[in-house]
Amino acid sequence: MSTHLRPNALGDISVLYLGPLARAIQAHGTTEKPLFRQFRITPAQLAAPDARISIPRFMRIGEAAIRQTGNPALGLTMGRMTRPVDAGQSGLAAITAPDVATALATLTRFSLLTSRNSRGHPHWNAAAGEAGFYSIRPYNRFNLFVVDSVLAAWTQFVRDITDATAVLERVWIEYPEPAHAAAFERWFGCPVEFGADRNAIRLREPVLLAASRHAQPAMHRQLVQECDAMLAKIRSGWSMTERVREQLMPLLNGQAPNIETVASQLGMGPWTLRRELAAENTRFRDLMDAVRRDLARDYVRETRLKFSEIAWVLGFSGPPAFHKAFRRWFGVSAGVFRQTEGE
């Protein structure tokens, strides 16, 4: 199996992101060390910039850190503690960009270098001046923290490179308004809409063209070239099977995509896609089943989503169809699997 297919179907994230979390915990007068031991985060992992942990484990660490600090908005503190270098090579390439718009475009373009989310990738909408990303849904107490920390980190990034505070026009957050919602408008310094159709920040128009305090054209070109090479290396070994898997995972969201939809995303016709998959001894139907199986395993084992929610996310007609498929895949019910395999 290719090394590009991660062990966790839901995605993974660089241990670089544990640095801001540790600093956020310390800002509350406590230490991250017992928490990291609990979740088996070793000093060797933290010292290896290429090391990754699964997104579900990152969510559980964040939720445990919220309980430890007593701050439900800890993700905002983590964002404030995030530095450009915490995004690795892509962060360095972004801060040397000539202006804010180019910096955010660079940061989101190379997000795969530090994180891989099966449900979609961060994106930059230049026309709207918006940076947005996808989160594992439906929402629960484990993944709210991820939304908060990503949007806050992007905001802090813009503040860092412009030396300005009022940089946003609006913030959209998909999950429902929490009891501590007032903390968000205070921190972001703009209206925040909860229960929205996306997770995104929109920058104020004057900020978009503002020069980066760290702009360095020659270094930016060099770092972008290096990031391009790293990204190409990641994708170069992807077979057609892996490319289809990459398209299927975010499309499984309350529906099961057909081969025509996936072929269109890949810029080819359905007959061409069938032929390409046949050359790799697989079929679209079998690949869909394998993707659902891998995602079902990790949703049941590593999240606390209700089985009805998992059934919807994976595009099943209803919970009975999901439970029937799960037993076919693993030989036991989803409930037994969660009890015996869940962390």
* Residue 210 within any structural domain of the chain: yes
Domain boundary, last residue among 232, 256, 290? 232
Give average pLDDT by consecutive 10-residue segment, the chain, 343 residues.
48 90 96 94 84 87 95 95 92 95 95 82 92 79 88 96 96 94 96 95 95 94 93 78 83 83 85 91 92 89 86 89 95 92 66
pLDDT of residue 4: 39
Q: What is the pLDDT of residue 1?
A: 32
The pLDDT score that the predictor gives to residue 17 is 92
Distance from C-alpha of 123 to C-alpha of 137, rounded to nearest angstrom = 18
Do 265 and 208 sit in the same domain of this protein?
A: no
* Whole-number pLDDT of residue 259: 92
List CB contacts of 120: < 8 A, sequence separation 6 or more.
133, 134, 250
Q: Is 65 inside a domain boundary? A: no
Query: Are 259 and 227 part of one and the same domain?
Result: no
| Domain shared by 93 and 145, yes or no | yes
Q: Let me know whether 215 and 181 are in one domain.
A: yes
Q: Mind giving me the DSSP string for 53-95?
A: EEHHHHHHHHHHHHHHHT-TTHHHHHHHT--GGGGHHHHHHHH
Q: Is 201 in contact with 151 (CB distance < 8 Å)? A: yes
pLDDT of res. 136: 67
Q: How many domains does the chain have?
A: 2
Cα 312 from Cα 320, distance rounded (Å): 11
* 332, 320 Cβ separation under 8 angstroms: no
Contacts of 10 (CB under 8 A, 6+ apart): 54, 55, 56, 117, 118, 119, 136, 295, 298, 299, 302, 303
Residues 10, 135 contacting (CB under 8 angstroms)? no
What is the distance, to the nearest Å, from the Cα of residue 4 to the centroid of all Cα atoms in its chain? Answer: 16
Phi, psi of 301 (to 5 degrees): -75, -35
pLDDT of residue 208: 93
Q: What is the torsional sign of CA 264, 7, 11, 48?
A: negative
Establish if 167 belongs to a structural domain. yes
Domain interval for residue 273: 240-341
